[in-house]
Amino acid sequence: MEWLNYHHLHYFWITAREGGITRASAALNLSHPTISGQIRMLERALGEKLFKKRGRGLELTEMGRVVYRFADEIFSLGRELLDTVRGRPTGQPLRLVVGIADVMPKLVVRRLLEPALRVDSGVRIVCREDKADDLFAALAAFEVDVVLTDAPLPSGSAVRAFNHLIGECDVGLFATASLARKLRPKFPQSIDGAPMLLPTDNTQLRRTLDHWFDAHALRPRIVAECEDSALLKVLGQDGYGVFPAPLAIADTVKSMFEVQLVGRLSGARERFFAISPEKRLKNPAVVAICDRARESLFKS
């Protein structure tokens, strides 16, 4: 494993920040040759030149500017760490890294994140979208704080984490006004042979829909299958077929995509989870997400 010498990086950072080795020597109370030697060792370790001569002074190379940006963030986080451990106010917003399963409806995610953005102490949200399994691995490595997904962590998973049910709601089918008027009177039998836009078969929602169609002996005509739920809605808005969406966001779907509700799929429900390493949630932003979702978004 390769290791970075942070002493060397610190000397480089001070030199770049102070604008030269002479000022860095005064700031660090070290000799000019000592600092020069430390920077050369860092350059050899990285395999890149970080400074270049400019007149009688030094100028950062292109790679030097990249390294300086990283160093600036590293030492800023170091100061914040010490302030936090010693109980001093950091002045920094709470940082929340949210893993978002790529199957999650973005309108639901938007509604879930809203309360976290309003936490009194302030919060900076970093969103990472990926496959659920990859996000669970990131959770185990403490690279994300919480994973939002439409299915619980599988039983027997090697990842030590806990499922927190945020809420659940019925699923509805939506379509343009003209198509909805045609299908609504004899719903759900009218869905048999109707043009349908569905999520791909690797999603929990698709499995729920397939089970519902089978239970009602319905065979819709599948026009398109999309991993991206937003694309399904856009295609539905364009009149290519009927599409599913959680009824918790029905009003938003209808107004944003200019569609109407065809019907509610009785017995077909979507469930949403926050997967966290904590059995009892402590992060105030995550608590805000879960509490607000239960109180309003998924309130019966």
Q: Are 67 and 12 in contact (CB under 8 A)?
A: yes
Q: Which CATH number do you get for residue 206?
A: 3.40.190.10
User: Residue 83 has what pLDDT?
Assistant: 67
The string of DSSP letters for the chain reads: -----HHHHHHHHHHHHHTSHHHHHHHHT--HHHHHHHHHHHHHHHTS--EEEETTEEEE-HHHHHHHHHHHHHHHHHHHHHHHHTT----PPEEEEEEEETTS-HHHHHHHHHHHHT-TT-EEEEEEEE-HHHHHHHHHTTS-SEEEESSPPPTT-SS--EEEEEEEEEEEEEE-HHHHHHHSTTTTGGGTT-EEEEE-TTSHHHHHHHHHHHHTT---EEEEEES-HHHHHHHHHTTS-BEEEEGGGHHHHHHHHT-EEEEEEEEEEEEEEEEES-SS---HHHHHHHHHIIIIIT--
Q: Are 227 and 103 in contact (CB under 8 A)?
A: yes
User: Residue 250 has what pLDDT?
Assistant: 94
* Claim to verify: residue 191 and residue 240 sit in the same structural domain: yes
43, 66, 85: which is the final residue of a domain? 85
Q: Which pTM was predicted? A: 0.66
Neighbours of 102 (CB within 10 A): 16
* Claim to verify: residue 64 and residue 188 sit in the same structural domain: no
* Claim to verify: residue 61 and residue 186 sit in the same structural domain: no
Q: What residues of the chain score a pLDDT lower than 50?
A: none
* Claim to verify: residue 109 and residue 149 sit in the same structural domain: yes
* Claim to verify: residue 189 and residue 206 sit in the same structural domain: yes
Per-residue pLDDT reduced to its tens digit, 83-117: 667 655 555 666 788 999 998 999 999 988 888 77
Q: Which residue is listed with tokens 């919480």?
A: 146
Q: Which residue is listed with tokens 């994140």?
A: 113
Distance in angstroms (rounded) separating the CA atoms of residues 220 and 210: 10
- Residue 282 corresponds to which tokens in the numbers above? 């402590």
* Claim to verify: residue 267 and residue 172 sit in the same structural domain: yes
Ramachandran assignment for 258, one of left (phi > 0), alpha (psi -120 to 50 degrees), beta (any other): left
Q: Which residue is listed with tokens 């300086």?
A: 68
Work out how many domains the chain is built from and give that number: 3
20, 54, 85: which is the final residue of a domain? 85
List, in order, residues 6 or more apart from 155 with CB less than 8 Å away.
Answer: none
Q: Which CATH number do you get for residue 68?
A: 1.10.10.10
- Residue 220 corresponds to which tokens in the numbers above? 């819709």
Distance in angstroms (rounded) separating the CA atoms of residues 232 and 226: 6
Its domain, for residue 57, covers 6-85
